[in-house]
Amino acid sequence: MNTVDRKAELAANLAEVEARIAAACRAAGRARDEVKLVAVTKTFPASDAALLTDLGVVHLGENRDQEAGPKAAEVAGLRPDAAPHWHLVGRLQRNKARSVVEWAQEVQSLDSARLADALAKAVRAARDAQIRDEPLDVLIQASLDDDPERGGCPLGELAALAEHVTHTGELRLRGLMAVAPLGADPAAAFERLARAGERLREDHPNAADVSAGMSHDLEQAITHGSTCVRVGTALLGGRGLASP
Ligand SMILES: *Cc1c(COP(=O)(O)O)cnc(C)c1O
């Protein structure tokens, strides 16, 4: 597909997603600007991410450091003035921390104290090397199904992990992220996440973000207080069977 056609396709998809977000906000009595849209560009080329920035998308998400680092650099080359905010939304191995802090403004998938320590150390090193001058925004990924395979911190351990994160000095705790459990009612899961967010804010009033909702469940997430929806398929199209 040529660039003009692809841009038109992305524009139409974006308009549809925007309409869904706006309708869900209206139905929930919330303001549209309470909900951030992160376009998840994983498996799609940097040219698509660049076109999304042309269409006004500010937040881009990726789930693998190996793919995201080069893509973020490519987008910066294609659109030097766009300065999108990159979010890591997938599982992160500690040995990738140094690389992640070179491209990500926010890590949404923090789920252990050891990973927090690795990220904080990487931020410190990047600041010393003048690769970045800001702390790293992080969300703690909460597990809503207690399935260790899918990542996330058990709800009962959130308070301790939050305390640990704030003591690293280099990480700014912005809130919680979660993926709805497979095969269960997403509304009930998002409600549990909202409660966990309320408890977190008793001790960490700035940790106000709740990242929840994807292409198929963003309405339920917004109903239950999401401040950040992460949308891939509905914006960019299907990723095919081989892709995560
Ligand atoms: C891929 C991904 C998304 C986007 O999912 P879609 O169903 O394509 O909208 C959101 N969050 C995470 C953590 C992802 O890995």
Residue 103 Ramachandran class (φ > 0 left, ψ -120 to 50 alpha, else beta): alpha
Output the residue whose Cα is nearest ligand 1's atom 6. 232
- Structural tokens at position 175: 């809130």
Domains of the chain as residue ranges with CATH: 3-233 (3.20.20.10)
The number of angstroms, rounded, from the C-alpha of 233 to the middle of its chain's C-alpha atoms is: 15
Among 89, 92, 149, 226, say which to mutate for ligand 1: greatest number of ligand atoms within 8 Å of CB.
Answer: 89
Q: How far apart are alpha carbons 48 and 184 in whole angstroms?
A: 32
The CA distance from 104 to 102, in Å, is 6
How many A from CA of 159 to the centre of ligand 1?
26
> What is the chain's pLDDT, residue by residue, as a tens digit (244 residues)?
899 999 999 999 999 999 999 999 999 999 999 999 999 999 999 999 999 999 999 999 999 999 999 999 999 999 999 999 999 999 999 999 999 999 999 999 999 999 999 999 999 999 999 989 999 999 999 999 877 777 899 999 999 999 999 999 999 999 999 999 988 899 999 999 999 999 999 999 999 999 999 999 999 999 999 999 999 999 999 987 655 4
Task: Tell me which H or E stretch contains 200.
Answer: helix 186-203
Question: Ligand 1: does its nearest atom lie under 6 Å from the Cβ of 50?
Answer: no
> How distant, in Å, are the alpha carbons of 6, 100, 232 from that of 106?
28, 9, 17
Kind plus residue range of the DSSP H or E element containing 121: helix 113-128
Q: What is the pTM of this model?
A: 0.96
Round to whole Å and give the CA distance between 75 and 170: 26
